[in-house]
Amino acid sequence: MSKIVAAYSPNVSKLISSLSNSQSMKIIYQIIETSSICVEDIEPYRHFETSSYGRNLIYGCSQFEMILICWKPEQESAIHDHDQSDCIMRCISGKLEETRYIQTSCEDGSASEIKQVNSKIVREGDVTYINNDIGLHKIRNINEGVSFALHVYFPGIRKCHIFNTEDNSKREIMNSFTSEYGVKKNKAGMGYDEYWNN
Ligand SMILES: [Fe+2]
């Protein structure tokens, strides 16, 4: 299912190759943390959205997908989970705030209150890791300017849930891309099925 359209920089190519040959999440984390990837490497994928953050596909295969998320000032995600995927995020530039939550199920199957667990600042070069066993989170750009974060999902994440703290409800959403392999989509989400079906 992998596609290579854009010419990857040496740092991006090296990262993709290293991740493709790794199985252990501990090693994968270390590879992402020690990668030399920098702002120049992600230049082709820096596309923004007005209503939300930009979500730009750099690389995808059956094993993982690599996405650059681009934040304008004050943009933030909803509280969300990560389906069956492990998510590793590395801040490439700017400053983000990650707030984590948990929601447990009651014995009758109903959802309990969504509780904030902690909040931390993610600066340039910092790496975070989350999956559904750890909990939920939301990410907010707290930089005065734009911020960029590399997200690597094992496996690729097609859908997730977003959570509402007002009534503790959740709903499923399909993830879409602002650009794919450096090519801006005409409209967010277009081309997504094409990506997953190939
Ligand atoms: Fe996330």
Domains, the chain:
10-193 (2.60.120.10)
Two tokens, residue 50: 């007005």
pLDDT value at residue 66 = 98
- Separation of CA 130 and ligand 1 centre (Å): 7
User: Structure pTM?
Assistant: 0.89
Two tokens, residue 6: 């854009």
The answer to whether 81 and 132 have CB atoms below 8 angstroms apart is yes
> With a cut of 70, which residues of the chain have pLDDT below it?
1-6, 109, 111, 187-198
SS3 content of the chain, % helix, strand, coil (to 5): 15, 40, 45
Q: Crossing angle of helices 25-34/10-20, nearest 10°?
A: 170
pLDDT value at residue 190 = 44
The answer to whether 60 and 66 have CB atoms below 8 angstroms apart is yes
- Separation of CA 150 and ligand 1 centre (Å): 11
| In the block, residue with structure tokens 């602002």 | 178
pLDDT value at residue 99 = 98
pLDDT value at residue 104 = 77
pLDDT value at residue 189 = 47
pLDDT value at residue 121 = 98
- Separation of CA 138 and ligand 1 centre (Å): 6
pLDDT value at residue 3 = 52
* Cα gap 138→35, rounded to integer Å: 24
* Cα gap 39→41, rounded to integer Å: 5
pLDDT value at residue 192 = 43
- Separation of CA 80 and ligand 1 centre (Å): 6
- Separation of CA 40 and ligand 1 centre (Å): 24
- Separation of CA 87 and ligand 1 centre (Å): 7
